[in-house]
Structure 1
């Protein structure tokens, strides 16, 4: 579908005069003067750009002519940017990105279309900007994968000896990007100068407003001068540590809350947040794993929080939902907290808010993220609680069990370990870092059930009640559990074997669920090699569906067959999935792949009903998975979904059935 033609037709149907120049059109309202330009419509690769000269939001302009943001894309699922080395970057309608193909490649986008060395090449921050420059203005343009996040991983050698113009986004990340481009491209280019958009933030905005390359405004990427100054120790005033919770939570510092699933970390954070509101303070709760309405607020209400003093955060970019990315968004976050007198911040889970291209396992990549949170806490004198997970390792000290780099425990000033005590039904919290006090403190806690009103109904929610100090530590409980032994292998290999026991799974699902269970991507990959046997056999056990170059990689155990090798009975795919008793996994998987593809979905994840829900269905949306319930031989704990209410006695009060999930979509 040609989105450009569709948008032009909608404007004409709405009574606007359209001056269509082929790749760009200018639309005026009735009674136009011939010179007025109300809205511009611009065709680029796979999508259409809208610019309102009156400053109206794109969503409002589209709504006025009966369109939505999805109508700006030739493909309603978004646009694919194909790199010359096989990398494919997928941009969704709501500006979420994922990659496939050669994701380790270093080629520049559109590098294979560069002319001879005498022609000036434009460098833009993102693929959308490069396409706008190339397709509308007709100039050679390139960009690197991941935009401003990590240009150092790209191969800039195709720009060697060429005159280059870098178009800088008008924001803080754009300035940092420009500084890196100067260092990476400046030494090899024949010349390098920097410009910025005359209108809007980036090159796409500039082009959409009808401006050309001659209209760019010169930009100075030179960073502010730096100087080194000595400060004598006798000029520094000693400050006493201010404790928000004595021996556990210091003010002005980052505190990490770590433990295994169901240990009560976020429930305890809710109890502490409630105390802050009752003291008159304001709380900012940033969440990624739990639903705001079904999980976070009920926990806060159950804990007795004054919800008029609890705040959540919405992030938008170009009018669409986006995610907080730290440390890039730290200045804005600091200003927001300062302006609203917020001195208590919860990040649940803290790993969800680091920049997407930063590894949690690499110390030099995770330290700037955590150190930024420490500076924010120090600047505001605030409490910052970050919730993290223990891995399934065999280290006997709790601080060594935090998933990822040692920076997760090195940088925070306090690390609170959580462990359940099977003998009491409650648990123990211990300062497992213990470098702020002579004797680390341990505190008991228990769980109670509180009834929380929901409209005319009510629901039961867990609440943490803090008890007395104890000499029992989190290390004691973890070691006691380990010493008592278990018949279940909790190594990465043991977990993976159980996870794949019921059949092949897309690798993205293994990473998503394995991460929730406390295993890193590296541990899971190593476990898969061990499960499969010899490394040279890996290709036999990791495979895409035949004919697919962009679909998910699928993992299986050596003894299992590929799901697409199985045929199903004739008839409705949904009916086949429901009646195939012999091989429900294979039948459902192949049927669901077909149905999901027809309806615009991508990946599939197995679901089951959990009595004790920890993870929630929102995860399937945030990680881009299609959450669907499939019958499995032996239930395994994965991401739960809502209960089915379709009235079918065969599935009533079970997780959503295939008919309910796909039938009406």
Structure 2
């Protein structure tokens, strides 16, 4: 079992500190050593699952205890979550296979591989907060929020975002835990086997939600997806990734799909029939069912899902 070194290390420590775990369909659950170590009866809320694709063990307290605190109580460190030592910070990274596949999809779709920013000209007004998106822990507690900001320019509108995290003393500027938007609803969909739609941003996720779907995204846009986001989808029946029709959108969709592949049963990657994103697709009069498969990406991940 040397190839699963992190799993052996984590579960051995949990068996020693919290007692034997309870095996489920995907997660093995233990008493959390941070908030369930008082000797009283608790329903175990710490989940552990092995991600074979990434050679790491995922630890998740569904009540919200930070991974670092859990590991500290176990006498472990972040590096113990990985089978092999991670590359040092700042080490040069090669172009990932997922992003290379996304670039093939861009070429097939006739879209540019480059990101071109439009010149909006001089600013006409001060930035204005137009929306606030709340991110929650599984029990509904606030974890953080994203504020959407619009700034009017002569040739159009610029958008930007601010993040805040919830602390004991209130809201503090800065990033928060890597949680999917609408997390309680996502977890309910995982348990009940309903489809889940992953968008690139909160506005599109709300568009899908208003259409009656379970929809989510990550904070931080196309560059904001992390492996920690993927762990919350473990055991999902079917996940639809709705890609924006540009280079960042395709690359984001590919990274999301690659991180989810070993965790969910089926993946589909689709895009707007008209317009750049889901909201423009719906504004053009199309239904959600009219979304088109993303060339290369949808076939690649859908076929891989069915081949397992």
Q: TM-score, normalization: structure 2?
A: 0.45
TM-score normalized by the length of structure 1: 0.22
Structure ID, larger Rg: 1
